[in-house]
Amino acid sequence: MHAVVLVGGFGTRLRPLTLSTPKPLLPIANVRQLEHLISNLGSAGVTEVVLAIGFKPEPFFEAFPDGTCAGITLHYAVEPEPLDTAGAIAFAARHAGISDTFVVMNGDILCDVDIAALVAFHKGHGAEGTLHLTPVQDPSQYGVVEVDDSGWVQRFVEKPAPGETDSRVINAGTYVLEPTVLNRMPENQKLSIERVVFPQMVAEGVLAAMPTQDYWIDTGRPDTYLQANLDLIDGSRSLILSSVGANSMISSSASITHSVIGENTVVGEGCVIIDSVVLPGAQLGNRVRLERALVMGTVSDDASLVDCVIGEHAVIAAHADLVAQRVPHPDEAK
Ligand code: GTP
């Protein structure tokens, strides 16, 4: 079975980290997000993954030089220009010659859904498409999905006002599709699957949906990206991973609590790191303090960063005291 993984978004909400590294290639507890996702696809019997790349394919080629990820063969479908979600799925599926039931996943989610069960549900319903749904506490920030008792989608409600719907489940970004869905997607045309194709399928009664309660997180914002890292080292999911990457130089006087330290990093004397992710290649001087920070660049001696996101080329001055800042600021950095 084929899977198409959408990795072509701009990742604006995670800037400046995504200015140098596409979101799906950022590590989560020292393993690239895409690798977590593709190994889940592999355990469901997916044998080939098509990466739907909207722009800048080079980091993906470099990340997987032998053309495999988690033991699965990769195809690279590079769009002539970003084609939005449905345009990207259609381009990738045609590129790989998909002609049978296939899976689609957004490249910026981390979840434990049983994809084999989702495929079985889809086939059992004879659906043209099936969505995976996940519950949320506060549906007012999302597009919620209303489903009837038999598992067919009835309606999408975008950012519902109080009382507008009883549904508390949202589109979780994993789909099973029949190849006939491609007939709804003209070649090389920008098109959204969520806003255009799925509503058409609901009107025709051919879109099913399966809610599950498994672990699920959209890693696309700094707070959720941090949470995804900490959830993995907490062991709140089935995988237990090291929190310290290879070739990192960590001073014995540094204090590291509930944090992830990436590969090839330097952590100087007397640093205090709490609830943070130090990304691959980051350099921390002496006595740096990090709290709920995501750091890719360089932080000089005695700086303190709380709730900050620091991009790859940023250099934070000695003694800086920053709270809730992104450096460089996403509007200035290009
Ligand atoms: P933000 O810019 O922070 O909203 O992130 P994003 O650009 O990744 O957008 P969003 O999370 O809404 O995208 C959902 C999924 O579709 C993600 O996995 C994106 O990588 C992917 N995606 C969005 N637009 C395109 C596109 O034009 N081409 C491809 N190949 N993938 C896309």
Q: Which two tokens stand for residue 188?
A: 């090389």
- Are 225 and 232 in contact by the 8 Å Cβ rule? The answer is no
Q: Is the CB of 105 under 6 A from ligand 1?
A: no
Residues 6+ positions from 235 with CB-CB distance below 8 Å = none
Mean pLDDT estimate for the chain: 92
The owner of tokens 């969520």 is 194
pLDDT in tens, 261-318: 999 999 999 999 999 999 999 999 999 999 999 999 999 999 999 999 999 999 999 9
In the numeric block, which tokens belong to residue 186? Answer: 């003209």
Instruction: Give the pLDDT score at 241.
Output: 45
Q: Could you tell me which residue, 257 or 154, shows the higher pLDDT? A: 154
To test the pocket of ligand 1, the residue of 5, 6, 14, 103 to mutate (highest count of ligand atoms within 8 Å of its CB) is 6
How far apart are alpha carbons 311 and 21 in whole angstroms?
10
Percent of the chain with pLDDT over 90: 81
Query: Ligand 1 pocket test: which of 5, 108, 131, 189 has the largest number of ligand atoms within 8 Å of its C-beta?
Result: 108
Reading the block at residue 140, the tokens are 């007012």
CA 318 to chain centre: 33
In order, the DSSP letters of 49-72 are: EEEEE-S--HHHHHHSTTSEETTE
DSSP for 95-106, written as a single string: HTT--S-EEEEE
Structural domains for the chain: 2-221 (3.90.550.10), 249-327 (2.160.10.10)
Residue 24 in contact with residue 105, Cβ under 8 Å? Answer: no
Q: Extract the tokens encoding 66.
A: 């032998």
- Min mean pLDDT across 102-106, 243-247, 320-324 is at 243-247
Q: By alpha-carbon position, which residue is closest to atom 1 of ligand 1?
A: 11
**β-strand partners of 102:** 177
Instruction: Give the H or E element holding residue 259.
Output: none
In whole angstroms, what is the distance from residue 121 CA to residue 47 CA?
20
Beta pairing, strands 2-6 & 48-53: parallel
Distance CA 191, CA 86 (A): 5
Is 101 in contact with 177 (CB distance < 8 Å)? yes
Q: How far is the CA of 59 from the centre of ligand 1 (A)?
A: 16
pTM of model > 0.75: yes
By most ligand atoms within 8 Å of CB, the mutation choice from 106, 174, 309, 331 for ligand 1 is 106
